[in-house]
Structure 1
């Protein structure tokens, strides 16, 4: 959360109460983006933070700036997870760990899923491009070590992981809260050499 707060403050040194309000707004925005997605309103974020709409606009430049800071933080986390997996000694277990964290983040945040799909109209394309590049490097490492099924590309693996996040219902069945874990195991078995 600290990174998102720093981005919003842009070098300013506000009073302690103002900083706490920004932190509350960031926390509320993160929860709202996870639950509602990028369509969440400034009023909803302010309500969740326990502040008035005037405080919202005094403390953050705009709703979009707040959402971009929150989602950029989540994407940065994914980038670091990919880098860590790529640097690990054993490529396949590291990739499996990355995949679980990546899918968990996507499965628990409507807004992150929207942002990674290019929806929401937020300025995140540079960060998403950086994540795409790290993901590509990670898949290349899997290919180089022979851990990935032959013929699969980084595009194939990216869509396979994105497809793990379940719909809430299919064929009259309702997905349980951990359905994504089962589906991820099936996908990982399918992409492994």
Structure 2
């Protein structure tokens, strides 16, 4: 059973409803910071959560404790998405749905891991195995080109996360999804899917 970051942080403690709510706010703020590439100090997360820094330390102890719990939660979500993909009758569709979720979750996971100073992630071996199984299943069904290794796929999925700017252009709101669709089309045989959203505008430099 997947254990949420809030449950990890409250394990073995009897807390009031307002105290639990503060922990939920702090977890949400840490994940928001990871999604936005924001700061990860206790003060910054407390500010995002709308609580005082004293409340931060009372409820979660240390920044490292909070980041570790949130990182474990995100890793568990990646594994859950992989299991959903493996349970999908259509192997390609299962992989595609996983990929759509994985790109954002993987970025969040990496930002959280960097914020805690790096190091190993306990679920890494499971994530690799899930990726391999999803890729091999899609290939065996004929939905994915057979000349790709699952490690190729891991790097291809990372490649869709580009910066917000390049040569004076600003990324479109759906840029990451557009990038991912092109990558998925390159993996697939034989029918490409439609691109979501509109291409970025070529504004004057």
| TM-score of Structure 1 vs Structure 2, range by shorter chain | 0.7 to 0.9
Aligned pair count? 186
3-state SS, counterpart of residue 122 of structure 2: helix
- In structure 2, runs of 5+ residues without a counterpart are 190-205
After TM superposition, give the deviation of residue 124 of structure 1 in Å. 5.5
The answer on 1:7 being equivalent to 2:12 is no
> Distance between the aligned counterparts of 1:16 and 1:114, measured in 2?
30
- The answer for the alignment partner of 2:176 in structure 1 is 180
RMSD value, Cα: 2.0
- The answer for the alignment partner of 1:112 in structure 2 is 109
Deviations 1:101-159 (A, max 9, x none): 222445xx5x43435xx633256511233222211111121122222212211110011
> Distance between the aligned counterparts of 1:122 and 1:24, measured in 2?
24
Is the 8 Å Cα contact of residues 157 and 180 (structure 2) preserved in structure 1? yes
> Distance between the aligned counterparts of 2:136 and 2:175, measured in 1?
28
Which one of 168, 171, 174 corresponds to residue 167 of structure 2?
Answer: 171
The structure with the largest alpha-carbon Rg is: 2
Which one has more relative contact order, counting CA pairs under 8 Å at least 6 apart?
1
> Distance between the aligned counterparts of 2:179 and 2:51, measured in 1?
40
- The answer for the alignment partner of 2:85 in structure 1 is 85
- In structure 1, runs of 5+ residues without a counterpart are none
TM-score of the superposition, structure 1-length normalised?
0.86
- The answer for the alignment partner of 2:35 in structure 1 is 34
Moved more, 59-68 or 153-162: 59-68
Moved more, 24-33 or 149-158: 24-33
